Structures are given as structure tokens and as C-alpha cells.
Amino acid sequence: MTWWLLQNSRLGTEKAALAELEGGADWLSVGKWQANSDLEMCVDFTIMHGDKRFVFQMRYPSVFPDTPPMIFTEDASQISNHQYGADGELCLEHRPDNWHPSITGADMVASCQRLIVEEQPESGEIVRARSAHTASLGRDLRSKSCRFLMSENDLKAVNELPDLEEREFTLSERKAATSYLASLTRIGPKDDPTWVSDLVLPDGFAKETGTVVRVPGAGNFGAVTVESLGAFLDGEGLGELRGRVFDTDAFTHLLLGYEEKWELFSIFGKPDDRKVLPYKTVIVPAAQRRVPDEFKLLADKTVGIVGCGSVGSKVAASLCRTGVGKFLLIDEDIFFPGNAVRNELDLSVTGAHKAFGLRERLKNLAPEVSVRAFRMTLGGQESAASMAGALEALGECDVLVDATGAPTAFNMIASMATRKSKPMVWAQVFAGGIGGLVARARPNIDPIPLMARGQIDSWCEDQGVEWVKPEDPERYAGQSADGTPMLADDADVSVIAAHASRFVIDLLARPDGSIFPVSAYVIGLSSEWLFDQPFDTRPIDLIPIGEWGETIEPLDADALVEILKAHLPPKENADAVAVAD
């Protein structure tokens, strides 16, 4: 149902206002009010200006009066510079950005007449009316599907090239949505570049080379054809270059410009039918730091994440966005379409190992990030060598994260965290999405992870409410107290993963302190179990217990030498004994 049926009084007001305007103006003639096939209320009107007659149609959208009516020329002709194409609406004083429901269609018609008077004075000259528009990159690029990205330093580099000297450059091209995006990667040959772009983006589907020339006065090429571009090159004394890019059937690239105005051209087709495809140049502003300064040190930190499912993938992506520079991922699972409902990954990695898919995802978020991925399960049927290698790699990380929800994996990660005195974070989404748990164990501050888990379980049992714990791999499914089926959704998982990420960031950025007063929290996302309402959060105080670090049996020097003699190969044996002596 549309506005003029629901708010008939407003329709009456619109008609009356326009009739009043017509009665007091000799330049306006109003036609019939009629709904079109889309049930938009329309009215035709004519404006006389000098000896010229302009016929328009005003259309009221279904959401009027929340948005303004639209005015079009009846014959879809272009009459103004303030018009969205020949068949587009006029851009008048009252627009979506300054609209108020008290404004009427009559006000729009009066604005239309003022535009005509300003742009077409009786002298006959064509005048561009004053504009209230502010520049918008997004609006300017709507019709530009081919775009060339340069950083501010890239722009500086091309402007430092000698005038009219040809240089090789390389670009990377990728497709995103409906746009083809090219970006400068370097100037000069691969083994001896004079400039390497600081705009680091994921690798595209193609890397191409071309020729870049700084041409004084170049810019604003407008609608470029093979003929006009060839004539421009000839006029600048670049006839040899023109021959190389046009007298061939190869796909070539040409980057021309001066100061702020640079344009990329892709040239292709047979020599007798070459075509020129211009790219719109977009200068990418220098990155503004959007995370606290205290997070700068995260770039040198390594986080080991075991489990690349719903929780683990979200934790990894969040940490990567925050600035963590190195990751170790462990998971043997394969990504299938059903995983997309909660995972950070999308359907493009269907059939791939989650660990490898997540590695690619992190590389797309931050191309400079370092990621090692193991396709295996801790505690699974793996070779002893593979298991030992994964555990040793975990022991080298700065923080260990268990996102598996599997007791066997937890035990192995906890053991490594305890032995290597590394902080550990774990998270669990409770069955049915009723809430979740996030916890940490810090060396020599908190209990060792195994003891911490035991204390958390005891705390839950002490609440006097049945502990809701999943017993099967489909651990996000459950039911409410009345038996209604419940399932954790992406938002539920995201909440718990975000809190786990904050624990990790806190451990890395504030090694000598913490913004969290306790090391374990249960977070309610519903009024089930012990939670009174969603976002009901219960802190759990953990009592430090257990020994962190390797368990070392005391040995005197003589006993140590005897062990070395008995077990080392001959050469190492002799060296070890010599050192011991």
C-alpha cells in the first residue's frame, strides 16, 4: 500500500499547494494527477521561460513524505547540468540529504523553475547553476568499473621520473564484485626496481608489465580513442612508443600523467582494430592508525590457534585485524557449505582444509602476515613425528588458544602451555547458544590450565543449576528448559570469540598487567541455565595452583656426565664430556 492511500489528507495538501502555486505564477501550468503502473502518484506540469516550453513529470515515491518527489523531463531530454543523465531526475535544492517532510511538491516545482531561470538566462548563454554538492569518491566511482589504485607515495615516485623517459612498471590486477582493480606494484625490472609500492594488497589474478611515462602537462584525457591517444603520443615525441603499443596484437599497458593527474590505459586487439580501455585513477590515502599505539608490538607476536572452526576462525581474523603478525593454525577439518553459517570463511574455500582456507583469509586481511598451518588434529591418529612437530611449534608461540572444545586437544595444549610457561586462552560456546565461557591461564599468576578448568567446572556445579554441556560434536545444538530446540547462531559464536580475542590481545599488549580483574567469565546470551537475562556475565575467581615450567629432576655433575656417555653418539659423547669437564 502506498502513501497516497494511507495518508489521503497529505495528497490533498500536495494538490492544494501546487494549485496555489499555479494560481500565483504565470509560468506554470499543472496537468492531471495520476498513479502510474508502479502506483507512484504522478503529476505533469509545464514551465514557460521566455519563448521556451519545458514539460516535466513529478513522481512521488511510495515512501513519501520521508523522501522527496522526483522531477523528470517528459521526453527524457537533458536540460540541465544538474541532472542525473538525460533520462534522470533533476537535482534540485531539496534533496535526500536536506529533505524534511514539511516540504511539498510545490516547493520542488518552484525549485525547478529557479534552476531553469539561472541556467538559461534571456541572453541565450548557457550558465551552470551554483552547486551545493560536496565531492564524494563513492558517487564519482559508481560508473567506473575499471580502477587504478596508487598510494600517495606511488604518486610521488612516478612524479620523480625524468620527463618523457619510458620506464617499465608492473601492475597487479584483481576483480572485486563488479570492479576490475589494478594497482602499481613496482617501477623498473623485477631484479632492479627503482620503486616498490608501499600499497600492499593480496596478489591478483594477473601481474602485467607496461610502460610509464611522465608527460609534462598531461592529464584529463577525457574520452580516449586509439586515434586521439596515438596523436597525443606523436605530439609528445613518443612515436616509437605509439608504434609498440598499437602496431601489435599484444595486450599492453600505458601509464601516462603529470603531477596529480595520471591515467592507466589497457590497449588490446588486432593491429587494425586496437581498443583502449581507460582506468579511473584512485589515490589511496595514507593508512590512518585505527588501533591503540600499545598494539604496535603485536606485529612481532605469534599466536597459536588450535581449531579453525567457528570460534577459532573468528578469533584469528580479529587478531589479524588488530595487528598480530604471526600465526600458527592447527586443524584437520574440511570446510563444507554448512560451515558457512558460523565460520569466518566463505563458500569459495569449500572442500579445502579449514587451516589452509583460514591462512588465505588472513593473507587477504594483511598480506604481510606470516601463517603456518598444520592439517592435523591434536591427539588424533597422526604420526608421532607430526604430533611432536606441531607441539614444538606451539611451544614457540607467545599465546596458545584452544578453540576446539575437545578435551583431548585441551589437555595437550594445556600441557604444552604449562611446560613452556606460555599463557593460554580457551573459549566454549554452550549448547543451544545460551551463552559461553572464556578463560585464560597466565604463567605464575593463574592456576595451570588443567587446574583452572577443574575450578571452572566446580564453580558451575556449585551454582545449583544443571550444567548444560554438549556431549557430541554438534555442540552448538541444544534445547531450552521446556524442550524447545535451540541452536547457536553466528552472532552467539561471534560474541564469545570476540571476548576470547580480547583476552589474547590483553595478554600480548599488557604482559605486566591486565584490564580484566579475573581470568574466567561465563557470558549469558539468553535467560537459560543460570543466566537471568542476555548479557548476564558471571566472573569466576581462580585460585593459583600448580607448577608452571618444565619439571626438572636435580642431577649432580657426575650423574649428568654418565647419562651423556651412555646415550650420545661417539663424537657428541666426547664433546659433551669435554664440556662437562
- Report the distance separating Cα 32 and Cα 11, nearest Å: 13
- For residue 515, what is its C-alpha cell? 584490564
What is the structure's pLDDT at 386? 83
Q: Concatenated DSSP letters for 79-136?
A: --SSBSSTTSPB--SS-TTT--TT--HHHHHHHHHHHHHHHS-TT----PPP--PPP-
pLDDT at 102: 94
Report the predicted TM-score, pTM, of the whole model to 2 decimal places. 0.76
Start-to-end CA distance of the chain, whole Å, equals 96
What is the pLDDT, as a whole number, of residue 97? 87
pLDDT digits (tens, 9 = 90+) for 208-229: 999 999 999 887 777 889 999 9
CA–CA gap between residue 274 and residue 233 (Å, rounded): 15
Across the range 292-314, mean pLDDT stands at 94
Which amino acid, residue 316? A
Is the pLDDT at 479 greater than 50? The verdict is no
Tell me the percentage of the chain whose pLDDT exceeds 70. Answer: 89
Helix (H, G, I), strand (E, B) or coil at 294: helix
Strand partners, 326: 302, 370
pLDDT at res. 486: 47
DSSP summary character for residue 263: E
Q: What is the mean pLDDT of residues 363-375?
A: 95
HSE of 49 in the Cβ direction (CA atoms, 13 Å)? 18
Residue 454 has pLDDT above 90, yes or no: yes
Please give the CATH superfamily to which domain 3-119 belongs. Answer: Ubiquitin Conjugating Enzyme (3.10.110.10)
DSSP label at 376?
A: S
Q: What are phi and psi of 477, to 5 degrees?
A: -95, 145
* H/E stretch holding 355: helix 354-365
Q: How many CA atoms lie within 13 A of 203 on its CB side?
A: 5
- More confident of the two residues 381 and 393: 393
Mean pLDDT computed over 452-472: 80
pLDDT by residue (tens digit) across 395-431? Answer: 999 999 999 989 999 999 999 999 999 999 999 998 8
pLDDT at 258 over 70: yes
In which region does residue 318 sit, left (phi positive, over 0), alpha (psi from -120 to 50) or beta (all else)? alpha
Query: Which superfamily is assigned to 293-539 in CATH?
Result: NAD(P)-binding Rossmann-like Domain (3.40.50.720)
| DSSP sequence for 45-76 | EEEEETTEEEEEEEEE-TTTTSS--EEEETT-
Q: Is 189 helix (H, G, I), strand (E, B) or coil?
A: coil
Q: What is the predicted pLDDT for the residue at 468?
A: 53
- Residue 129 reports pLDDT greater than 60: no
Q: For the chain, give every domain's residue range.
A: 3-119, 141-284, 293-539, 552-581
**pLDDT at residue 287 is higher than 80:** no
**Rounded distance between C-alpha atoms, residue 417 and residue 195, angstroms:** 44
Tell me which residue of 305, 526, 533, 297 sits closest to 429, measured CA to CA: 526
Give the mean pLDDT of the chain. 88
pLDDT at 305 over 80: yes
Coil/strand/helix, residue 333: coil
In this prediction, residue 565 carries a pLDDT of 65
Q: Are 503 and 399 within 8 A, CB to CB?
A: no
Give per-residue pLDDT as tens, 14-45. 999 999 999 999 999 999 999 999 999 999 99
How much of the chain exceeds pLDDT 90, in percent? 69
CA distances from 234 to 3, 230, 231, 257, 581 (A): 61, 6, 5, 15, 83
CA-based nearest residue to 426, from 446, 391, 399: 399
The pLDDT of residue 374 is above 90: yes
Q: What confidence score (pLDDT) does residue 469 get?
A: 53
Please give the pLDDT value at position 202. 86
Using DSSP's 3-state secondary structure scheme, residue 535 falls into coil
